[in-house]
Amino acid sequence: MKYSKELHDRIEQNLRMFDFPRFDDGDIEALLDEIARLNAERRWIPVSERLPEMYHPVLTMAKKAKYPRVLSREKGADDIWVWALRQLGGYVAYIGEKNITHWMPLPEPPESEV
């Protein structure tokens, strides 16, 4: 079952109905708010809805792509904003603007050193 607003409301109603002594209203709200925040944070955002901040790498999906790619929005030739793929050695590849359909923020890096 996929998380949704309806499921959120049903969980909240059921937890309140049974009045579990280990949970108070603040606990239930905090848990449900965190679930909603995580789902919003990890969803694919259509480029028609909004674009990422400039120069911030994001995970992207393109038309007919099998795998996501890390790209950033940058100023290209003729001062036109483009999707750029930066690789080691300074090589930059520009991806067609109309090919990118969705994006999402990259996850935070791990806190501990490996």
Q: What is the CA radius of gyration of the chain?
A: 20
| Domains in the chain: boundaries | 5-41, 46-105
* Rounded average pLDDT over 14-42: 74
* Rounded average pLDDT over 48-69: 90
Q: Is 6 exposed, middle or buried (0-12, 13-18, 19+ CB in 10 A)?
A: exposed
Which of 52, 102, 88 has the alpha carbon at shortest distance from 73?
A: 52
Contact 71, 85 (CB under 8 A): yes
User: Mind listing the pLDDT tens digit for each residue in 77-114?
Assistant: 666 778 888 776 666 777 777 789 999 999 888 887 66
25 in helix, strand or coil? helix
* Residue of 26 and 1 predicted with greater confidence: 26
